Amino acid sequence: MLIKLSRSSDCNASEITPEDLYLSRRALLGGTLAGLALGAVPRLGAAGEVSRYADAVPGAAPAWFNDKLAATRWQAVTAPGEAITPFKDATHYNNFYEFGPDKGDPAANAGSLKTEPWSVVVDGEVAKPGRYALEDFVKPYQLEERIYRLRCVEAWSMVIPWLGFPLAQVLKQVEPTSKARYVRFETLQDPKSMPGQRSGFALIDWPYVEGLRLDEAMNPLAILAVGMYGRELANQNGAPLRLVVPWKYGFKSIKSIVRISLVAEQPRTTWQGLAPDEYGFYANVNPTVDHPRWTQARERRLPSGLFSPNVRDTQMFNGYADEVASLYSGLDLRKNY
């Protein structure tokens, strides 16, 4: 259902990223915040039905998702030569501070998140603002599988098969006005279901906010994801709707979206507010620009261990330079980090 609103105006042991290094981000929040996976390619069965990834734990997908799954365009974007990260790693090692500061907290605590019903507000500088039930918001678009590299600012990385649709399709549908220059995204704020929002470590000014320039948001690689590994999104990975921007550090790919606003001025994002000298608005993956506290030239690809390190060179724009470098022509990426 659509309820109209009134207008408002993604080696050597010495090279492995140490655990205390990536955990040091939490110090900003004070105190407590101080080979291809088996069956990774969906297979067509005798009846033409697409099987799930062999290692993916089945979820409880809503009816609208199951209805759209049959028409999914599988492998619309692939990652040649890359091993897909095992489902367990992708769903049990991530950042989602609304559920706690540690890597395992989202998987442990996100079961409390209620994703039905869910609505998304689109507002700001658009001709067609509205509040949409999620099933209506997604209905016009065909799902595509996009196998993307994910590079975290903490210098670890994954390869994940997402299910979603281009963000540009949504933006065209709501008709940005001539004043729209940026897109602002907002995560659910619900302390009852999100323990991180009510805990003592939270120096974050909730809700979590991220943003893109409008031309970045219109790039074909930027998607809104509703699924992963052939199933709906796991709660800890941003159910039921998240952004995926694969050429940027992972904190840009905001989770559990409830509002998308077209705005004239660059939005102030959450990590900018916490540490503007460390986390800039652009957050493009750039191996030549180090984080103030660690190098970005190398990354640890999961799964990885002390005695079997999986460390590799980081690629400019996370390997998507051919598709996105033109967006930043003439821009100093050291100042606009």
Using one digit for the tens of pLDDT, what is the confidence trace for 230-259?
A: 999 999 999 999 999 999 999 999 999 999
User: Mean pLDDT score of the chain, rounded to an integer?
Assistant: 88
The strand pairing partners of 132, in sequence order, are: 2, 120
β-strand 257-263 against 182-187: which pairing, if any? antiparallel
With contact defined as beta carbons under 8 Å apart, do 87 and 55 qualify?
Answer: yes
**What pLDDT is stored for residue 185 in this prediction?**
99
Distance, CA of 307 to CA of 23 (rounded, Å): 21
In which residue are the tokens 């790919």 written? 253
Write the single-letter amino acid at 299.
E
SS3 category, 184: strand
Residue 12's pLDDT band (cuts 50, 70, 90) = very low
306 vs 217: which has the higher pLDDT:
217
Range of weakest confidence among 169-173, 196-200, 268-272, 310-314: 196-200
β-strand 119-124 against 130-133: which pairing, if any? antiparallel
Distance, CA of 84 to CA of 35 (rounded, Å): 8
**What pLDDT is stored for residue 308 in this prediction?**
83
First to last CA, the chain: 40
Residue 216's pLDDT band (cuts 50, 70, 90) = very high
Distance, CA of 219 to CA of 151 (rounded, Å): 18
Q: Left if phi > 0, otherwise alpha if psi is -120 to 50, otherwise beta: which for 330?
A: left
Range of weakest confidence among 13-17, 18-22, 144-148, 156-160: 13-17
Q: Left if phi > 0, otherwise alpha if psi is -120 to 50, otherwise beta: which for 26?
A: alpha
Tell me which fold the domain 2-328 belongs to.
Answer: Sulfite Oxidase; Chain A, domain 2 (3.90.420)
Q: Left if phi > 0, otherwise alpha if psi is -120 to 50, otherwise beta: which for 233?
A: beta
Quickly count: other Cβ atoms within 10 Å of residue 225's Cβ. Answer: 28
Q: Per-residue pLDDT for 19 more than 70?
A: no
Quickly count: other Cβ atoms within 10 Å of residue 238's Cβ. Answer: 25
- Provide mean pLDDT across the span 7-20: 40
Distance, CA of 174 to CA of 261 (rounded, Å): 11
Range of weakest confidence among 26-30, 138-142, 207-211, 312-316: 26-30
**What pLDDT is stored for residue 201 in this prediction?**
59
With contact defined as beta carbons under 8 Å apart, do 17 and 294 qualify?
Answer: yes
Q: Rg of the Cα trace of the chain? A: 19
User: In the chain, which residue ranges form alpha helices assigned H by DSSP?
Assistant: 19-23, 63-69, 87-92, 105-109, 134-138, 167-174, 214-217, 270-274, 321-324
Number of H helices, E strands in the chain: 9, 14
Distance, CA of 124 to CA of 122 (rounded, Å): 7
pLDDT tens for 61-78 read 999 999 999 999 999 999
Please give the share of the chain, as a percent, with pLDDT higher than 70.
Answer: 84
